[in-house]
Amino acid sequence: MNKTAEFLVFGATGQQGGAVARALRADGREVRAFVRDPYSKKAQALMAVGITLAVGNLFDRASIDRAMEGIRGVFSVQASSPQGEISDEQEIKQGKDIADSALAAGVSHLVYSSSGAAGKGPTGMGHFDSKSEIENYVRALPISSTITRPASFMEMMMLPGMGLNTGNFFFFMQRDQQMQMIALEDLGRINAHILCNPQHFAGKVLEISGQALTGEDLEQAFSNAAGFPIHYQRFPDALLEQNSFLRRLTELVDNGIVAGVADIPALEKAFGEMMKLKQWLTGPGKPLFSAALNAPQADIALR
């Protein structure tokens, strides 16, 4: 293990942690990634860009403690129950264990990536309310910390079953209703900047987003990128009646909890211009969009 690493990133083989680890490394920082399998393709890709690996398991507190050795900044994110890997209770324990370990190791600053739905009262969805509990725990500890609450990822719209391969796109909002979103690349660089400049963000809770988009905005952007019409529709009522998970998420968009409340102009003043959907579709999202347009028919994978 590289004893000189500055930053320890959890979830580095996933979307959020991977984006943060790459952003830190691109800034020339020494990064240690906490991974279960050092021989996986994603772990090997991290090593290829100079990121060192700390092998462990979030169910093993001792391995977390070992990974903290010599670290000054930590990015903490956990898997959620909808992914099918852990329960809400296990997510809470992992989030608390990382925070406790960082405190015990004398880490200078902890960044916890929560959710845009957290901190706004009970949602009735365990994987959101779990993050509110972790937030409260982190804030109560005597450790310098920042909590970031990301909006929905642009990448999430490319999951199977959303209709792009049929010339349609189905999502949560009405055609004229706004929902905030963020590109993972922006999420990565924002959290990396906070880790590198903790004196400006200690004790803060930041709602982070790159753009507020309506269903009509999605229709126009996807049609322009595809070169043929893509028709936007909210998830059909029949689907929402059958799928309680999607139904509750749609309700949370309607009542504003999941729609996003980030102050995007203030974020751009602090972190620079955010990537808009049009840029994302011609940049990092281009291969994902192409794959979604040409994907075989599948059940909706959003969960």
Residue 141, CB half-sphere, CA atoms under 13 Å: how many? 29
Return the pLDDT at 1. Answer: 53
Return the pLDDT at 3. Answer: 55
> ∠ CA 25-26-29 to the nearest 5 degrees?
40
pLDDT of residue 27 exceeding 90, the answer is yes
Tell me the pTM.
0.95
What is the average pLDDT across 51-61? 97
CA–CA dist 11, 95 (Å, integer): 12
Residue 159 in contact with residue 291, Cβ under 8 Å? Answer: no
CA–CA dist 107, 126 (Å, integer): 29
Greater model confidence, 174 or 4: 174
CA–CA dist 188, 259 (Å, integer): 21
Residue 235 in contact with residue 172, Cβ under 8 Å? Answer: yes
**What's the CATH fold of domain 7-152+182-208?**
Rossmann fold (3.40.50)
Residue 3 in contact with residue 67, Cβ under 8 Å? Answer: no
CA–CA dist 15, 301 (Å, integer): 16
pLDDT of residue 112 exceeding 80, the answer is yes
> Of 88, 142, 97, whose CA–CA distance to 115 is shortest?
88
pLDDT tens per residue, range 247-268 = 999 999 999 999 999 999 999 9
> Of 263, 286, 251, whose CA–CA distance to 124 is shortest?
251
pLDDT tens per residue, range 162-213 = 999 999 999 999 999 999 999 999 999 999 999 999 999 999 999 999 999 9
Q: How far is CA 251 from CA 174, 231, 256, 291, 301, in A?
A: 12, 22, 9, 29, 19
pLDDT of residue 2 exceeding 70, the answer is no
Residue with tokens 């993050």: 131
pLDDT of residue 156 exceeding 90, the answer is yes
Return the pLDDT at 11. Answer: 97
